[in-house]
Amino acid sequence: MSEPVRPADGNHYQWGGICDGWHLVRDVELSVIEERMPPGAGERRHFHLRARQFFYVLRGDLAMEVDGRHHRLSAGEGLEIAPGEPHQASNTSQADVRFLVISQPPSHGDRQPA
């Protein structure tokens, strides 16, 4: 039977030394992660061989570079990333940003440096 899920229930992990992630859905076909990125943090530019991703901002502003195009996503906005598209998420604002990363199939083990 399905039960409601919240970050406090999910499997927490830390990345980049200062960012947090919570696995909300962790399945062989789908991954949904809520992430918190503090000001000045960012990930390394990369791409995924198989995973299609969707970044959806819950709170704050997320800077996204996708294949040379720069986007600024605010709460209530999202961006789809196709397999093979080089991308990088970062927080250039003065406040934490919280966002969902939805990957199909899951992106873990599918990441390549760009």
Query: Does the pTM of the predicted model rise above 0.85?
Result: yes
Task: In whole angstroms, give the CA distance from residue 75 to residue 108.
Answer: 25
What are 86-101's pLDDT values in tens digits?
999 999 999 999 999 9
What are 64-86's pLDDT values in tens digits?
999 999 999 999 999 999 999 99
Q: Which domains are assigned to the chain?
A: 9-113 (2.60.120.10)
The C-alpha angle 95, 101, 104, rounded to 5 degrees, equals 170
